[in-house]
Structure 1
Amino acid sequence: MSTTIEFTGTVRYWDPAKGSGLAVIDVPADCVQQLGGRKQRRVVGTLNGADFAGSTMLVAGGGFCVGASKAALKAAQAGLGDEVRVVLEGEQA
């Protein structure tokens, strides 16, 4: 069974100490289970209303995020530090 997860998050670097690299948006803890738990998987949905496909991944310290490509951010008219509206299709756990 699938479910729709919606949240707002800030675009940031996966490794903030590095100051470059993969852009991610943290998934709120209360949404993780709806995505099927803390497992890496491909996801589809929208960023600020623009079609989007990405992958979820674990974050050191227990967090969970979804990666956003440069193309996806451009389509969403968003960049690092911006708040974005994320809608993801997930599997009900």
Structure 2
Amino acid sequence: MGTSVEFSGTVRRWNDDKPGGLAVVDVPADRVPELGGRKQRRVHGTMNGADFTGSTMLVAGGGFCVGVSKAALKAAGASVGDEVRLALEP
């Protein structure tokens, strides 16, 4: 494995109109190139120290985020609105 891309972010809903829907964490713009650019792909690493697998996604307006499952949030001891620490393999 290579060097991890590490950052913190707040877990938010992809669509605020769907309270049970997808949760995401926005990737800081300065970390996007380290993850291979604005391309959708599977990523592996940790969230709050727990093993994590998710997918990166484009956000309207030029943003970039990673989707987090309910199981990943549970393993990380986190929920929507919480700040989490991600370490992802590019």
Kindly provide the amino acid, as one letter, of the partner of residue 54 in structure 2.
Answer: G
Paired residue for 1:26? 26
Structure 1's unaligned 5+ residue stretches are none
What's the CA shift for 1:3?
A: 3.3
Structure 1 residue 10 corresponds to structure 2 residue 15: no
Matches within 5 A, 1:46-57: 46-57=46-57
Q: Distance in 2 between matches of 1:22 and 1:52?
A: 15
TM-score, normalised via structure 1 length: 0.91
Q: Which runs of 4+ in 1 moved over 6 A?
A: none
CA contact (8 A) 1:3 1:34 kept: no
Q: Is the 8 A contact 1:41 1:56 kept in 2?
A: yes
**Deviation by residue 1:59-93 (Cα, 9 ceiling, x = unmatched):** 11110000000000000000000000000000xxx
Cα deviations across residues 35-57 of structure 1 (Å, max 9, x unaligned)?
A: 00000000000000000000000
Instruction: Report the residue type matching 2:7 in the other structure.
Output: F
Residue matched to 1:83: 83
Cα distance, 1:15 vs structure 2: 1.6
Aligned residues: CA RMSD: 1.2
Number of matched residues?
Answer: 89
Give ranges in structure 2 of 5+ residues lacking alignment: none
